[in-house]
Amino acid sequence: MGKAQLAQALSGLEPPADPRLLVGINTADDAGVFLVEPELALVQTVDILTPMVEDPYVFGRIAATNSLSDVYAMGGEPLTVLNIVGFPAAMDKGVLREILRGGQDAVKEAGAIVVGGHTFNEKEIKFGLAVTGRINPKRIITNAGAKVGDRLLLTKPLGIGVFAQLMMSDEPMEADFYQTAVESMMRLNRVARDLMLEFDANAATDITGYGFLGHLQELAEASRVRVRVFTENVPLLPRVLELAKRFIDPGVLMNENSFNSRVEWHREVPQELKNILWESESSGGLLISLPAQWVNAFKKKAAEHGIIAAVVGEIISGTPGTIEVV
């Protein structure tokens, strides 16, 4: 659902006013955080996806990884999960078993536990997790703490929206493109979480349904800062720029309609790259606002762990909640 539509649905609802709610819906953050005791808070989130690959096991891993990411984006540690499954009643239950097996393996890799779930009959397969994690209240990383002078680091390439549209077409997909995209989506954001805690990140979010520019705008608005994006530094999946000329994710229109009024284009950007910046991502990377003095050390450690840390922008002074693209 687009941001404007969601805002319509929520209008008139009274937000909770409980001092134990440390992070709620007011800043459009990745997860809620609830204080249990002075050194312990719970991180809670829920997400669900429809398949973007044919292999049910791979889809299960991707959907679970996507759900776990919101806890990592807050700096938290996943503890328990509940499966949420929409599944056609007449379909082979072996398919569902493989989806659940893939999800369970991702949860196990994260060090969390599947404690149950809920299923419902649905025409189209849907799968995701409700995740509960823990965090030290003094170490919460929200989307509202970015500071002028910070650099923005992105830990996975963009282009999953293009990948998903190609998967739904009759056009063959090159094996290396498929493998790179799937490996990216199945990779937990745990290492990126560890590094942003180690290097005292000021803010973070993960890149999912609202796309790169949408989630970045929410971070800029929550932090009351302006952001400059370096388009030439944005990491992309292989061949995705060429494919984006023909395969356009539906999220492009939704996200552009929701956020475009807050984005200024200061250079001529090819339409296909604009589309990638707007498209919805599945199980994307963390977008981290980091003090400039820690960027090189962060990048070095990220490389040692086999993940990218592309400097895709910076926090600047100016109209809060706005983005300039250069």
Per-position DSSP letters for 173-214, written without gaps between them:
--HHHHHHHHHHHHS-SHHHHHHHHHTT-SEEEE-STTHHHH
How many H helices and E strands in the chain? 11, 13
Let me know: does 67 contact 47? Beta carbons within 8 Å.
yes
> Could you tell me if 260 and 123 lie in one domain?
no
Residue 191 belongs to what domain range? 151-325
226 HSE (CA, 13 A, CB side): 11
C-alpha 171/C-alpha 304 separation (Å) is: 36
Question: What pLDDT score does 13 carry?
Answer: 85
Residue 222 lies in a domain: yes
Which token pair is 172?
Answer: 């063959």
Same domain membership, residue 216 and residue 286: yes
Is residue 200 a part of any domain in this protein?
yes
Q: Are residues 223 and 267 in the same domain?
A: yes
157 with 303, same domain: the answer is yes
Residue 320 and residue 175 share a domain: yes
Which residues are CB-neighbours of 279 under 8 A, at least 6 positions away?
Answer: 158, 159, 160, 161, 162, 211, 248, 249, 251, 252, 255
**Angle formed by the axes of helices 175-186 and 160-167, to 10°?**
120
- Residue pair 233/151 in contact by the 8 Å Cβ criterion: no
Report if residue 199 sits inside a domain: yes
pTM for the model: 0.96
Q: Is 278 inside a domain boundary?
A: yes
Residues 264 and 288 occupy one common structural domain: yes
Residue 73 tokens, joined: 């984006």
State whether 244 and 128 are in the same domain. no
Does residue 23 sit in the same domain as residue 168?
no
Q: Are 286 and 72 in contact (CB under 8 A)?
A: yes
- The strands making up 77-87's β-sheet, listed across from edge to edge, are 21-23, 32-37, 40-49, 126-135, 77-87, 113-121
* Whether residue 193 sits in one domain with residue 301: yes
Question: What CATH number does the domain containing 179 carry?
Answer: 3.90.650.10
- Judge whether 218 and 311 are in contact, CB under 8 Å: no
pLDDT of the residue at 12: 80
- How many structural domains does the chain have? 2
Assess contact for 146 and 220: CB atoms under 8 A: yes
The beta strands (E) that lie in the chain are given as 21-23, 32-37, 40-49, 77-87, 113-121, 126-135, 151-154, 203-206, 226-229, 263-265, 286-290, 310-316, 322-325
Q: Report the chain (326 residues): mean pLDDT per 10 consecutive residues.
A: 80 87 93 97 98 97 98 98 97 98 98 98 97 98 98 98 96 95 98 98 97 98 98 97 95 95 96 98 98 98 98 98 98
Strand partners, 130: 46, 82
In terms of Cα–Cα distance, which of 160, 195, 154 is closest to 294? 195
For the chain, give the mean pLDDT. 96
Q: Is the dihedral of CA 42, 48, 53, 55 positive or negative?
A: positive
Q: Are residues 314 and 228 in the same domain?
A: yes
Quick one: pLDDT at residue 3? 79
Question: Does 202 share its domain with 125?
Answer: no
196 falls within a domain: yes
In-domain check, residue 230: yes
Residue 146 domain flag: no
Give the Cβ contact number of residue 186 at 10 Å.
Answer: 19
User: What pLDDT is recorded for position 149?
Assistant: 98
Instruction: Return the ∠ at Cα 10 (arms to 5 and 14), rounded to 5°.
Output: 165
Final residue of a structural domain among 118, 139, 160: 139
- Within a domain: 144: no
CATH code for the domain of 50: 3.30.1330.10
Q: 291 to each of 60, 148, 150, 186, 231, how far by Cα in Å?
A: 36, 9, 5, 28, 20
Q: Phi, psi (5° rounding) for residue 134?
A: -125, 160
Based on the fold, state whether residues 103 and 186 are members of the same structural domain: no
Q: Pick the last residue of a domain from 93, 119, 139.
A: 139
- Number of neighbouring beta carbons within 10 Å of residue 8: 11
The last residue of one of the domains, among 78, 113, 139, is 139
